[in-house]
A and B are shown apart, each in its own frame.
Chain A
């Protein structure tokens, strides 16, 4: 975030690895917390909060995928399917056994973690392209299974309605309540990820990403850490699926198809691979992009095109811009929005006394 490091001298490794790199960072974090928990929900209309809620859900998923792709260097095109595993697990527990929300959510996450670890097994033998294709196969096979096994999918439409989440006897119904509810999970996910990547496990992940054979030689247990990366990442994905299910009130596999996997990959690439803040930027950007296009086209598209043409243009323009953005960031700014943010910050570090 925005701070200057003038007059700060670190003398221990602990200080260097601390969650708050500078004393003033505590105040920035506190200010953002006040903004998010008090100012924003009190000042913004419910509709906009519902958009923020979508961003919140994506942040959790993007963080999870970034642990796998950005930090461990293993690609996964199957995260949409892991989300559906979490969603259907939680929905089945909630509807058939009447499990409350706070039990169904971790169960969904754990089930997704288990499935994710199984899909990740090929990563021990293959990597790069082969792993991408293996996870793609995982995505298609999980989609097919959910679609064809009524026990999981709950009938013809392959969708299960879930009750509204309840915490301490207090039902979460409106978007405003949902906002606080989701924000708690975003905070949990952020803190967990920040702590994970500066711990022993996170260091092992980064070693594997930079060179897996070299990492193995210096004593990182590749088998354990690769599967752990898949499991943790899929746990996040499962939780994302559960949150989305509760947000929508329905578990439906159509929300978790391969397009979703690609959306999340786009988030972390646009945001910045291997960066927590980048995941947040990317999640916000990719979620807001289609909404922005819809607004722009509905407002001004009618001037140039007929109404039917506008309806054709909106989803396709979204696809084109979306793909073009991925390519643009990969070619021009591989470190993503996070890098742009750092450039801005570095510019203002010595401002106005830059020399």
Chain B
């Protein structure tokens, strides 16, 4: 394979992985958009959902569709409950409080997984086959293709939801100004809960796809670290931003890893997105599609 083919391979891989990052980042963006809360436990959401589905299949012998349904139901309930118990008392408190609460939540979930279902790595088999699709220089594992497809589907669905549906418009109103939304008769707290539940749904699918790609154990939560470069680059409250940010991060890390890893001895995949993110923070902290904030005393 020539240099050119290698580059194209890195690009295609970057696009697919990037779209899978977008899927996870979407959970973060949904919550931030509606409630202004920052979810540092997004990676752990993905992990616990994937773990639950894998454990339902392995330990309790549930078929895939049942396990997925149980996972979705569980995460929706978890999202509503979490908002009620943890996030609602923190409304109006400094932003550090919300950040720390989700960091605490991340620790809880990371401990809860192994306590409930054992610490060993589990496989999460999906009925789509393992043999990669080879097409010219391209070399695509089917799971990545599925992940990218699910990701695009969700992004389109949520784009429609926010633009057209009644609930989505209400949620945008809540994001814009909680007080005005309340005055217009929107039940703000219910929409906060709904946003967390939607993040739970997205995380479940993210957990199934990433879990099936990487195997399910506590390390699955590490994909959460990729969320931050994605959302900072794209803009914290923008759904198209999640796609663009995901694509940029996926491309940058794959190209950087492909060309730089042999020179510096590995680890570029984790390094490059963060370096890019710091530059973005200095130049354009609100991201490509985000709204700049104006502060007054």
Q: Known contacts A217-B297, A320-B108, A323-B111: does B100 contact A133 (CB below 8 Å)?
A: no
For A136, list chain B residues within 8 Å (CB): 228
In the bound complex, do residue A323 and residue B281 qualify as a contact, i.e. CB atoms below 8 Å apart? no
> Which of these binds chain A: B191-199, B204-212, B267-275?
B267-275
In the bound complex, do residue B277 and residue A326 qualify as a contact, i.e. CB atoms below 8 Å apart? no
Rounded to whole angstroms, the CA-CA distance of A267 and B203 in the bound complex is 30
Which of A73, A128, A331 sits near B101, CB closer than 8 Å? Answer: A331
For A229, list chain B residues within 8 Å (CB): none
Which of A126, A129, A137 sits near B274, CB closer than 8 Å? Answer: A137
State whether the Cβ of B154 lies closer than 8 Å to any Cβ in chain A. Answer: no
State whether the Cβ of B216 lies closer than 8 Å to any Cβ in chain A. Answer: no
Give the number of chain A interface residues (Cβ < 8 Å).
47
In the bound complex, do residue B285 and residue A319 qualify as a contact, i.e. CB atoms below 8 Å apart? no
In the bound complex, do residue B99 and residue A319 qualify as a contact, i.e. CB atoms below 8 Å apart? no
In the bound complex, do residue A326 and residue B281 qualify as a contact, i.e. CB atoms below 8 Å apart? no
In the bound complex, do residue B107 and residue A141 qualify as a contact, i.e. CB atoms below 8 Å apart? no
Rounded to whole angstroms, the CA-CA distance of A317 and B116 in the bound complex is 11
In the bound complex, do residue B104 and residue A125 qualify as a contact, i.e. CB atoms below 8 Å apart? no
State whether the Cβ of B168 lies closer than 8 Å to any Cβ in chain A. Answer: no
State whether the Cβ of B134 lies closer than 8 Å to any Cβ in chain A. Answer: no
Which of A312, A327, A334 sits near B114, CB closer than 8 Å? Answer: A312
Closest to A316 in B: B111
State whether the Cβ of A340 lies closer than 8 Å to any Cβ in chain B. Answer: no
Residues 25-55 of A at the B interface (beta carbon under 8 Å):
none
Task: Mark A227-264 against chain B: 1 for CB-CB distance below 8 A, else 0.
Answer: 00000000000000000000000000000000000100
In the bound complex, do residue A324 and residue B104 qualify as a contact, i.e. CB atoms below 8 Å apart? yes
Give the number of chain B interface residues (Cβ < 8 Å).
49
Task: Mark A190-229 against chain B: 1 for CB-CB distance below 8 A, else 0.
Answer: 0000000000000000000001011001000000000000
Which of A140, A313, A326, A331 sits near B107, CB closer than 8 Å? Answer: A326
For A214, list chain B residues within 8 Å (CB): 297
In the bound complex, do residue A134 and residue B278 qualify as a contact, i.e. CB atoms below 8 Å apart? yes
For B101, list chain A residues within 8 Å (CB): 326-327, 330-331
State whether the Cβ of A325 lies closer than 8 Å to any Cβ in chain B. Answer: yes
Which of A128, A141, A319 sits near B110, CB closer than 8 Å? Answer: A319
| Shortest 9 CB-CB contacts between residues of A and residues of B | A319-B111, A323-B107, A326-B104, A323-B108, A320-B111, A323-B104, A316-B111, A128-B95, A137-B274
Chain A residues proximal to chain B, CB less than 8 Å: 69, 73, 75, 77, 122, 125-126, 128-130, 132-134, 136-137, 140-141, 144, 147-148, 211, 213-214, 217, 262, 265-266, 269, 273, 312-313, 315-327, 330-331, 334
